[in-house]
Amino acid sequence: MEKKKVALPLVCHGHSRPVVDLFYSPITPDGYFLISASKDSTPMLRNGETGDWIGTFEGHKGAVWSSCLDTNALRVASASADFSAKLWDALTGDELHSFEHKHIVRACAFSEDTHHLLTGGVEKILRIFDLNRLDAAPREVDNSPGSIRTVAWLHSDQTILISCSDTSGVRFWDLRSGKIVQTLETKSPVTSAEVSQDGRYITTADGSTVKFWDSNHFELVKSYDMPCNVESASLEPKHGNKFIAGGEDMWVHVFDFHTGKELGCNKGHHGPIHCVRFAPGGESYASGSEDGTIRIWLTSPVSREESDAVPGNALNPKVKAVADEVTRKIKSSLHIGTA
If asked whether residues 174 and 29 sit together in one domain, one would say: yes
Q: Which of 131, 158, 190 is the last residue of a domain?
A: 190
124: Cα within 13 Å, side-chain hemisphere: 8
In a domain, 260, yes or no: yes
Distance CA 216, CA 213 (A): 9
pLDDT at 110: 98
Domain with residue 209: its CATH number is 2.130.10.10
If asked whether residues 96 and 231 sit together in one domain, one would say: no
For the chain, 339 residues long, give each residue's pLDDT as a single digit of tens: 444 455 689 999 999 999 999 999 999 999 999 999 999 999 999 999 999 999 999 999 999 999 999 999 999 999 999 999 999 999 999 999 999 999 999 999 999 999 999 999 999 999 999 999 999 999 998 888 999 999 999 999 999 999 999 999 999 999 988 888 999 999 999 999 999 999 999 999 999 999 999 999 999 999 999 999 999 999 999 999 999 999 999 999 999 999 999 999 999 999 999 999 999 999 999 999 999 999 999 987 543 333 333 333 334 333 344 345 544 544 454 444 444
Range of the domain at 101: 17-190
Task: Check: CB of residue 149 under 8 Å from CB of residue 190.
Answer: yes
Q: Are strands 95-100 and 84-89 parallel, antiparallel or unpaired?
A: antiparallel
If asked whether residues 141 and 24 sit together in one domain, one would say: yes
If asked whether residues 90 and 146 sit together in one domain, one would say: yes
In a domain, 178, yes or no: yes
pLDDT at 132: 97
Distance CA 312, CA 210 (A): 33
DSSP string, 41-90: S--EEEETTT--EEEE----SS-EEEEEE-TTS-EEEEEETTSEEEEEET
If asked whether residues 123 and 214 sit together in one domain, one would say: no
Domain count of the fold of the chain = 2
Q: Which of 143, 163, 190 is the last residue of a domain?
A: 190
pLDDT at 335: 46
Distance CA 287, CA 251 (A): 9
If asked whether residues 35 and 136 sit together in one domain, one would say: yes
Distance CA 334, CA 328 (A): 10
Using only C-alpha atoms, the chain has a radius of gyration, in whole angstroms, of 19
In a domain, 279, yes or no: yes
Distance CA 246, CA 27 (A): 24
Q: Are strands 252-256 and 75-80 parallel, antiparallel or unpaired?
A: unpaired
pLDDT at 143: 80
pLDDT at 4: 43
pTM above the 0.75 mark? yes
Give the Å distances, CA to CA, from 79 to 118, 130, 262, 337. 10, 16, 34, 19
In a domain, 12, yes or no: no
pLDDT at 183: 95
Distance CA 171, CA 168 (A): 10
Task: Check: CB of residue 62 under 8 Å from CB of residue 44.
Answer: no
pLDDT at 6: 54
pLDDT at 328: 54
Query: Which amino acid appears at position 142 of this protein?
Result: D
Query: Which amino acid appears at position 78 of this protein?
Result: S
